[in-house]
Amino acid sequence: MKVKNFSNSYMTWKERKKIEGGRKPLKNQRLSLSVARPMMKKQHQREKKMLQEMKKQKQRKKKILQERMILGRFGRKIGGSSSSRKKSVGKHKPEDRGLKLRGRFRNDILDVNHHLLKSTPTRGMTQSFIGLAFMMASCSKLAKENKAKEERTKGSNWLELPREITANILERLDVVDILIGASSVCSLWWKICMDPFMWRTIIMNNICFTSNVMVEICYSAVERSCGQLEDIEIVSFCTDDLLIYIADRGSNLRRIRLTECQYISYNQFSEVANKFPLLEELDISFSNLSEDSLEVIGRCCPHLKSLKFSRMFYTYIKGDDDAFAIAKTMPKLRHLSMSGNLLTNVGLDAILDGCPLLESLDLQNCFHLDLSGSLGKRCRDQIKDLVLPIVIDENCDDEDNDSFYLDSPIENEA
């Protein structure tokens, strides 16, 4: 009995339709999502694994090409068998070390003309030439790829810049970045960062570490200045010892900004002021100051032109003591900011008399002043840049609006 093969792989769709009685072939049943999803996930994992294998294989091929390029000139073969390597290592007999040639000799000279006339290469020579050609092609291809990669990644060589330009660029970095990062890049940058002229200006207003760490970094920066320091700015972490260290090595300082330095004792400024004879600008806002601090600073710093100060505490200070000290000892002052001070009209009048060169005056939050009369007019005429205390207009009865009407006494007078 003959058995017909009804397998779908051996029939066309016409034959299958004829057997099924003219009906259309059944459609493939779709799998449910719960079954198809794990299958798709496994397929995705297989494809991902296959890509990783292809990548590894490509890296291995690249490594083999590099090894061939490096070791090819020494005649070594990559991946040879152990038996072949052992044979090559074997010792040669003394009689085999000589040159073995068979040919015709004329007058004790070998005649090799008949060897040169034979141009038919042997099978071993053919295989050697093919291997050599493959090696040369691989090396040339790899060399072209490396050259193209170098051209793509080629950038400016920073070491070729002139020393002056490199120093100018490094000077614009933060002190912490120079000490921790830039000075460790190369020997050239380290030499530039050790130059004292790199440290004429030290600005440390970005607190990126704890106070103790910032103090140690500042010590190192001041030490590298070697007495060439001209400008320094420290925010919040300066201490008495650090201020003394700066004063001992900062005789050329012309600008000092020590703001919010609560760790400095109230009389420390008076003790180190005599070590800044060339000081022209001083900012000691929100700091601890003793009663006679301003007077000592004025006497020890005769070239002072700009002063910005505000006390953290006014417990032992009377209203116009600071104003009288400024008027008495700072005749060359051009810029003055004493925000939140307790001075009155008497102290302000003394400042205007004792500082005839004054160009800018900041009196914010000085609420003990009354500038509605002739003193306000004098300030407006004598001072070019004048910042007055802001007062609230009590006559404003606009209760529906949450904002306040801020006004100035001099503007009212005008």
- Residue 161's pLDDT band, with cuts at 50, 70 and 90, is confident
Burial of 266 (0-12, 13-18, 19+ CB in 10 A): middle
Looking at residue 119, its pLDDT comes to 46
Structure tokens at 176: 């912490």
| Range scoring the smallest mean pLDDT among 85-99, 157-171, 191-205, 267-281 | 85-99
| Range scoring the smallest mean pLDDT among 89-103, 220-234, 261-275 | 89-103
pLDDT higher than 70, residue 391:
no
Distance CA 202, CA 268 (A): 21
- Residue 85's pLDDT band, with cuts at 50, 70 and 90, is very low
Domain 199-413 in CATH 3.90.120.10? The answer is no
Share above pLDDT 90 across residues of the chain, in percent, rounded to a whole number: 28
Q: What's the average model confidence in pLDDT over 4-13? A: 56
Structure tokens at 156: 């400016």
pLDDT higher than 90, residue 334:
yes
Angle at 36 between CA 35 and CA 38, to 5 degrees: 80
Q: 318, 292 in Cβ contact below 8 A?
A: no
Q: What's the average model confidence in pLDDT over 27-32? A: 64
Structure tokens at 190: 């380290």
Query: How many residues are given for the chain?
Result: 414
Q: Dihedral through CA 181, CA 183, CA 188, CA 193, nearest 10?
A: 140
pLDDT higher than 50, residue 74:
no
Residues 6+ apart with CB under 8 A from 242: 215, 218, 219, 234
Q: What's the average model confidence in pLDDT over 379-383? A: 92
Q: What's the average model confidence in pLDDT over 388-409? A: 50
Q: 228, 253 in Cβ contact below 8 A?
A: no
Burial of 27 (0-12, 13-18, 19+ CB in 10 A): exposed
Q: Dihedral through CA 54, CA 58, CA 63, CA 64, nearest 10?
A: 100
Distance CA 148, CA 154 (A): 10
Distance CA 342, CA 338 (A): 9
Average pLDDT over the chain reads: 75
CB atoms within 10 A of CB 293: 23
Q: What's the average model confidence in pLDDT over 319-337? A: 92
AA letter at 76? R
Q: What's the average model confidence in pLDDT over 35-57? A: 87
Q: Encode pLDDT of 175-216 as tens digits.
A: 888 888 888 888 888 889 899 989 999 998 877 777 888 888
Query: What letters, b where the CB count within 10 A reaches 16 and e where it falls short, cover 80-105?
Result: eeeeeeeeeeeeeeeeeeeeeeeeee
- Residue 400's pLDDT band, with cuts at 50, 70 and 90, is very low
Looking at residue 26, its pLDDT comes to 55
pLDDT higher than 70, residue 261:
yes
Domain parsing of the chain, residue ranges: 199-413
CB atoms within 10 A of CB 260: 15
Of 299 and 6, more confident:
299
Radius of gyration for the chain, computed over Cα atoms and rounded to the nearest angstrom: 45
Q: Encode pLDDT of 92-148 as tens digits.
A: 554 444 444 445 555 555 555 554 444 444 445 555 555 555 565 566 666 767 766
pLDDT higher than 70, residue 272:
yes
Does pTM top 0.85 for this prediction?
Answer: no
Element of type H or E holding 275: none
Of 235 and 405, more confident:
235
List the one residue out of 144, 136, 3 whose CA is nearest residue 68: 136
AA letter at 339? S
Of 68 and 261, more confident:
261
Looking at residue 311, its pLDDT comes to 79
Distance CA 64, CA 66 (A): 5
| Three-state secondary-structure class, residue 111 | strand
pLDDT higher than 90, residue 352:
yes
Looking at residue 396, its pLDDT comes to 52
Looking at residue 399, its pLDDT comes to 45
Q: Is 294 left (phi over 0), alpha (psi -120 to 50) or beta?
A: alpha
| Range scoring the smallest mean pLDDT among 59-73, 123-137, 289-303, 339-353 | 123-137
Side by side, the strands of the sheet bearing 255-259 are 201-204, 231-235, 255-259, 281-287, 306-311, 335-337, 360-362, 385-387
